[in-house]
């Protein structure tokens, strides 16, 4: 824990140094601005959409960006000669992204309450956002492992959007019918939509339970068998060792 806190502080310093906080805040303002034009059922559909995109796509982008800037700063060289373990380093990424997602929850929830008078059960929202953010932090790290530059990260990101996110968005807005959409639960963004969507609509408890278990298991499997085992290989490649 003594080494984890400095790592988390360093992550936040990096986000601030490279204006990633500012960019994220601008995106949040855009979400609030768009929400201003929605009413009733449309707004009800749009609110979960904000949190789904933030905890999935924004998380992946922030992970990719921070890993890229770490490469620019030669942070990995310092990590190699420090007592910091790979578990602590990777956990710091997860913690920072969870905190970022929770900041989004607080900001968007407060803004929508004061602007639209809309409320929802944050006790249902917070655990959903945490679980979704954890698995997408893992996915963001994985995509970065297979990228040689930030441009490559963006290409991997776009591929992920088309394969995994686009079907979820089409299902959210009824373009994909409900019968076909139920099979999309194997896609992490769709599972995120189910877990987060519970704040505005009824969700089958079995689907809800499956969603939490599925994302928790997926996070564990990604970390245990891909993220952690390939970390040293990634470090060696980035440091040129």
Residue 212 buriedness (CB in 10 A; 0-12 / 13-18 / 19+) = middle
Give, in order, the Cα–Cα distances in Å from 7 to each of 34, 35, 68, 84, 154: 35, 35, 16, 9, 25
pLDDT at 240: 62
Is the Cα torsion angle 226, 212, 103, 54 positive or negative in sign?
Answer: positive
Q: What is the pLDDT of residues 140-182, one digit of tens each?
A: 999 999 888 888 989 999 999 999 999 988 887 778 887 888 8
State the total domains in the chain.
Answer: 1
**Tokens at residue 69, please?**
């800037």
Give mean pLDDT, residues 230-235: 88
What pLDDT is stored for residue 221 in this prediction? 98
Range of the domain at 188: 4-239
Is the pLDDT assigned to residue 227 strictly greater than 80?
yes
CB 200 within 8 A of CB 191: no
**8-33 tens-digit pLDDT:** 999 999 999 999 999 999 999 999 99
Query: DSSP assignment, residue 82?
Result: S
| Distance between CA atoms of residues 172 and 195, nearest Å | 13
How many angstroms separate the CA atoms of 189 and 164, rounded?
7
Question: Contact 132/215 with Cβ under 8 angstroms?
Answer: yes
The 10 Å Cβ neighbour count of residue 61 is: 20
- Distance (Å, whole) CA 96 – CA 18: 15
Contact (Cβ atoms closer than 8 angstroms) between residue 146 and residue 233: no
Asked if 171 and 184 count as a contact pair (C-beta separation under 8 A), the reply is yes
* DSSP code of residue 197: H
Place of tokens 């969870």: 98
Give the model confidence (pLDDT) of 82-138 as tens digits.
888 899 999 999 999 999 999 999 999 999 999 999 889 999 999 999 999 999 999
Say how many residues make up the chain: 241
Q: Which two tokens stand for residue 89?
A: 């380093």
For 6, the token pair is 């400095």
Please state the pTM of the whole predicted model. 0.94
């Amino acid at each position: 824990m003594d080494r984890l806190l400095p790592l988390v502080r360093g992550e936040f310093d990096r986000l601030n140094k490279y204006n990633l906080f500012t960019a994220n805040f601008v995106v949040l303002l855009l979400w609030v601005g768009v929400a201003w034009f929605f009413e009733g059922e449309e707004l009800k559909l749009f609110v979960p959409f904000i949190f789904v995109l933030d905890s999935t796509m924004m998380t992946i982008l922030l992970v990719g960006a921070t890993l890229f800037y770490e490469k620019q700063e030669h942070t990995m060289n310092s990590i190699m000669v420090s007592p910091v373990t790979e578990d602590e380093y990777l956990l710091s990424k997860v913690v920072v992204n969870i905190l970022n997602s929770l900041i989004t929850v607080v900001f968007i929830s407060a803004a929508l309450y004061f602007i639209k008078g809309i409320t929802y059960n944050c006790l249902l929202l917070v655990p959903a956002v945490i679980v979704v953010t954890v698995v997408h932090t893992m996915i963001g790290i994985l995509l970065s492992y297979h990228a040689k530059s930030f441009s490559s990260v963006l290409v991997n990101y776009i591929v992920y959007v088309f394969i995994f996110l686009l079907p979820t968005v089409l299902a959210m807005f009824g373009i994909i019918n409900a019968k076909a959409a139920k099979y999309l639960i194997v896609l992490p963004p769709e599972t995120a939509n189910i877990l987060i969507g519970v704040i505005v609509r009824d969700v089958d408890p079995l689907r809800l339970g499956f969603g939490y278990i599925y994302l928790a298991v997926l996070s564990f499997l990604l970390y245990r068998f891909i993220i952690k085992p390939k970390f040293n290989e990634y470090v060696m490649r980035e440091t040129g060792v």
